[in-house]
Amino acid sequence: MKRKRIAVLRGGPSFEYDISMKTGAAVLQALSELGYEVLDIPVTKDGQWLREGRVKSPEQALLAVDVAFIAMHGAYGEDGTIQRIFERLHIPFTGSNSFPSNVAFNKDLTKRTLRDTGIKMPKHIKVQRQYANQISEIVSAITTSFGPEYVIKPALGGSSHGVIMVSGSNELADGIKISLQAYEECLVEERIRGTEATCAVLGDFRGYTLYALPPVEIIPASGHNYFDNVAKYDGSTTEICPGRFAYNEKQKMLDLATLVHQTLGLSQYSRTDCIVRDGEIYFLEVNTLPGLTSESLYPKAATAVGLSFRQLISHLVTTAAVRI
């Protein structure tokens, strides 16, 4: 019987290039150990596709590929761009379709899509660069509506890149200016103090259309004000799975992750980040292509229910679908 040829897409033109390369390396190793014929297709930081070290068009790079495994994070890989290529070529691929990927990548659009579900979210406002000359008025409106601590983050992106924690109107104004220098638009959220957590879901597993994995409790190391982009990958963070939450808190997180996945129309797998405070769960954002490295949260949650890393990768490959 002919072995399936799996192309692993990694890298890409985003801030998350390095972690994507690590995710891809872990996936490549697992697929090789599973006996698949594996094709490594790095995408350079300027968007060029490489097959066997040579620049190829997507059509050339994907020639005779049975399934594409998207091991990418951030822009291009997670915003629907690469998904549209696979949809056009009718190649089965892992993760969500292009449209829901694009929606989930936009934090403001995600929140607006979830607005009528009853999900609790921090108060927030979107600020665009074109209104940078009105920052005084914007800051006044924000401090009147919510506060006194704020989270400023890019409207597009992940892995906590560009996140700024501030308090008070002066720091808020400075933080918005810094963010708008780097990004076209940003979100300002009220900062909710509590326990950081994440809850993942996996499709078509153990007889369930969507199977919610145990919530992970996240405790950043001393010196980290929150689960920032350094703490995510330097191994210093304590991650407890299953997290030490009350039964009702755990159940709310399982329900939240499932509802977010369903409402946004996501496929196969996702991971929802949240804050737990006084028994209430506040949605922060959703990851449509969670990291798959030794330090990543999704594999740790899978391991907690007896699903090894290789079994997880195998499941994603076998349940990848043709998207039209």
Domains of the chain with CATH codes: 5-95 (3.40.50.20), 103-118+193-307 (3.30.470.20), 124-190 (3.30.1490.20)
Reported as a single tens digit per residue, the pLDDT across 118-150 is 999 999 999 999 988 899 999 999 999 887 999
Could you give the CA distance from residue 253 to residue 181 in angstroms, rounded to a whole number?
35
**Position 161 confidence tier, pLDDT thresholds 50, 70, 90:** confident
**Position 48 confidence tier, pLDDT thresholds 50, 70, 90:** very high
User: To which H or E segment does residue 188 belong?
Assistant: strand 185-190
Could you give the CA distance from residue 303 to residue 315 in angstroms, rounded to a whole number?
14
Reported as a single tens digit per residue, the pLDDT across 192-216 is 999 999 999 999 999 999 999 999 9
- Where do we find the tokens 């697929």? 31
DSSP structure class, residue 57 = -
What is residue 156's predicted lDDT score, i.e. its pLDDT? Answer: 87
User: What residue spans of the chain are helical by DSSP H?
Assistant: 17-33, 58-61, 81-89, 98-105, 107-114, 135-145, 168-182, 247-263, 297-304, 309-318
